[in-house]
Amino acid sequence: MFTDGMGVIAMYALTVLLAIPLGKYIAKVYQGNPSRNAGSALDFIAPLERLIYRLGGVDPNRQMNWKENLVALVTINLLWFIYAFFMLLFQGSLPLNPDGNPSQTPDLAFNTAISFLVNCNLQHYSGESGLTYLTQTAVIMFLQFVTAATGMAAMVLVFNALRTEVADKLGNFYVYFVKSITRILLPLSLVVALILAFNGTPASYDGKDTIVTLQVDTVGVSRGPAAGMIAIKQLGTNGGGWFGVNSAHPLENPNYLTNMVEDISIILIPIALVFALGHYINRRRLALVIYGVMTVGFMLLFFPSLFAEISGNPAIANLGVAQPLGSMEGKEIRLGAAASAYWGITTTATSNGSVNAMHDSMTPISGAMQMLDMMINAFYGGVGVGFLNFFVFLIVAVFISGLMVGRTPEFLGRKVEAREMKIASLIAILHPFLILVSTAISSYTLVNMPDADWAVKPGNWLNNDTFHGFSEMLYEYTSSAANNGSGFEGLGDNNFFWNFTCGLVLILGRYLPIVGPVAIAGLLAQKKYVPESSGTLPTDTGTFGLVTFAVIFIIAALSFFPALALGPLAEYFSLR
């Protein structure tokens, strides 16, 4: 157990140690002139980028305002959706399908296309049988790169608005998008993929193998070019695994070393982006305060989950067996309870959604912490979009503290007025609205129409009864709205009701929280810059950090408390 704790400490320490230089590097990447070198280590990639701009028909020097940038973002996203949907719908008849897997049904293809388009990676199928090598690489892995880059590019647009010298132009979406791939995501993915491959993760295109075991059973073994995809699914806060059980699978996550590398990859870029903000807009203290608030929140969620998992399941203890390793249902021996609890919190903090243990089987406290993590969705957060969510809370905090001290609310030298505040409030309320309303609808359906003649009868949706069953539904919509992608996988979710409702929640939960902050940023950037004076409320202090934390706690935590009380908390108190 001691070495398990050391492993977790090492993972977090290494992440921060790597994130500090990476943040500096990322700021340089985005600051660089698009057609010239940025003075960073990967300048040799510049010719490749020029080739991509030329073949793509993009003028990298063109400056666009926030509306043009959003139109560019939405247009290319729409195209990806159509492309992904039809590929999945016809994958069974397309090449690179050595295992002979079938095409997806229209509702499953709709859900899958949206889920990967919005960087959520909720999976209502299992990778071994639900996809082909073609769709794994050309749809799933492709979207894992480009949607992560989309989030990062949107974030840079907001960064640009926070710089003092900016007017109404926020830069060029395409440039930030391409550079995010060529200079950040692709090089890091290559490193991680090779570490995985040399530790036993398959990377070749060979199909499923059949073996006769020592005990003379005949079983199959699924394989495929998995290493490359697993790398970007971890780094891009995507989370959709090659195999059905994600990084609990011994080929997707072969040993403790790969587990450390994969888990570090989950929060590396999200933390680095906070530091990048400090360098990019030249406000390092503000970045430190933001990092501090996020880290305190992260730890407050992690430790209860850690203690719950290593203490084990009280109901198993009652049966009289020993739990020296903690709660082991749904967990792997080579990873252990502590590393699984840590993964559970990193993956829900960041909208990653990959898992290395089955969250459905974890203790109620862990379930509660994971859901709360996604309900807040701003402690580190997804690549790019995590900061956008935090930005909304910052605006609300600025406004509230401005009112409390009786001054006009200002953020980084620009007045926050009614219009920005309306957008921020709507975005902040959207998240609880999506989660709670959809969970209410599914609960109503389950109770009142248990025998409806659908592919899966509502009465058979749940894998567990009572409080835990409710948690399965609450978790699914929380994960969808937060674009996380992890699940209480016992839920029978591959049917029209869940594919459709989750798909809707996914779209709203992705694009509105991108459009809102970019719009706020665009509006702020158009305003006159007022230099900070003694009359300005400073936003880079511990006091302001505390106010931000309080705002997050009040908006996110309290609006979800009743739902959590019905699910995991009730289960916790009833578990003896």
Partner 1 sequence: MKTHIGPAIRLTVVLLVLLSVIYPLVVAGIATFAPGGGKGETITVNGRVVGYKRVGQAFTEDRYFNSRPSAVDYNAAGSGGSNKGPSNANYLKTVQARIDTFLAHNPGVRKEDIPSELVTASGSGLDPDLSPAGAKIQIARIAKIRGISADRLNQLVDEHTEGPLLGLFGPSKVNVLQVNVALDALK
Residues 360-389 that bind partner 1 (CB under 8 A): 360-364
The one segment of 125-133, 289-297, 512-520, 544-552 that binds partner 1 by CB under 8 A: 125-133
Residues 6+ apart with CB under 8 A from 254: 196, 199, 200, 201
Question: Distances from the Cα of 355 to the Cαs of 234, 272, 336, 492, 570, in angstroms?
Answer: 10, 22, 13, 18, 24
Nearer to partner 1, 315 or 558 (CB): 315
Positions 493 through 552 that interact with partner 1 (CB under 8 A):
none
Tell me how far apart the alpha carbons of residues 163 and 44 are, in angstroms, rounded to a whole number.
Answer: 28
Positions 54 through 113 that interact with partner 1 (CB under 8 A):
55-58, 71-72, 74-76, 79-80, 83
Tell me how far apart the alpha carbons of residues 231 and 481 are, in angstroms, rounded to a whole number.
Answer: 24
Q: How far is the CB of 390 from partner 1 (least distance, A)?
A: 28
What is the separation, in whole angstroms, between the first and last Cα of the chain? 24
For 111-121, letters b (16+ CB in 10 Å) and e give bbbbbbbbbbb
Positions 341 through 360 that interact with partner 1 (CB under 8 A):
355-358, 360
In degrees, to the nearest 5, what angle opens at C-alpha 248 toward C-alphas 243 and 253?
Answer: 80
Which of residues 332, 373, 476, 493 is near partner 1 by CB under 8 A? 332
In degrees, to the nearest 5, what angle opens at C-alpha 291 toward C-alphas 289 and 293?
Answer: 70
100: DSSP letter: -
The amino acid at residue 357 is: A
Nearer to partner 1, 57 or 531 (CB): 57
Q: How far is the CB of 194 from partner 1 (least distance, A)?
A: 6
Positions 7 through 26 that interact with partner 1 (CB under 8 A):
7, 10
Question: Distances from the Cα of 307 to the Cαs of 325, 338, 362, in angstroms?
Answer: 12, 8, 12
Residues 6+ apart with CB under 8 A from 38: 28, 29, 31, 32
Q: How far is the CB of 461 from partner 1 (least distance, A)?
A: 13
Tell me how far apart the alpha carbons of residues 530 and 232 are, in angstroms, rounded to a whole number.
Answer: 42
Q: Report long-range pairs for 493-497 (Cβ below 8 Å, ≥24 apart).
A: 493/124, 493/461, 494/108, 494/124, 494/125, 494/456, 495/107, 495/454, 495/455, 495/456, 496/107, 496/454, 496/455, 497/442, 497/445, 497/454, 497/458
Q: How far is the CB of 500 from partner 1 (least distance, A)?
A: 22
Positions 184 through 223 that interact with partner 1 (CB under 8 A):
186, 189-190, 193-194, 197-198, 200, 202-206, 208-209, 211-215, 217, 219-223
Which of residues 296, 300, 316, 456 is near partner 1 by CB under 8 A? 316
Tokens 């919005």 -> residue? 118
Which of residues 38, 88, 113, 141 is near partner 1 by CB under 8 A? 141
Which of residues 16, 18, 94, 138 is near partner 1 by CB under 8 A? 138
Nearer to partner 1, 163 or 208 (CB): 208
Question: Distances from the Cα of 400 to the Cαs of 392, 403, 547, 570, in angstroms?
Answer: 12, 5, 9, 34
Q: How far is the CB of 503 from partner 1 (least distance, A)?
A: 21
Positions 246 through 275 that interact with partner 1 (CB under 8 A):
248-251, 254-257, 259-260
Positions 153 through 182 that interact with partner 1 (CB under 8 A):
174, 178, 181
Please work out the total of residues on this chain that contact partner 1, with binding judged by CB under 8 A. Answer: 119
Q: How far is the CB of 313 from partner 1 (least distance, A)?
A: 4
Pairing of strands 414-415, 410-411: antiparallel
- What SS3 state is found at 522? helix
Nearer to partner 1, 7 or 516 (CB): 7
Q: How far is the CB of 115 from partner 1 (least distance, A)?
A: 18
Positions 284 through 313 that interact with partner 1 (CB under 8 A):
312-313
Q: How far is the CB of 76 from partner 1 (least distance, A)?
A: 4
Which of residues 110, 125, 145, 475 is near partner 1 by CB under 8 A? 145
For 59-95, letters b (16+ CB in 10 Å) and e give ebeeebbbeebbebbeeebeebbebbbebbbebeeee
Positions 384 through 443 that interact with partner 1 (CB under 8 A):
none
The one segment of 28-36, 457-465, 496-504, 555-563 that binds partner 1 by CB under 8 A: 457-465
x/- site string to partner 1, residues 465 to 484, per CB under 8 A?
xxxxx-x-------------
Nearer to partner 1, 337 or 556 (CB): 337
Nearer to partner 1, 327 or 501 (CB): 327
Nearer to partner 1, 57 or 535 (CB): 57
Nearer to partner 1, 332 or 420 (CB): 332
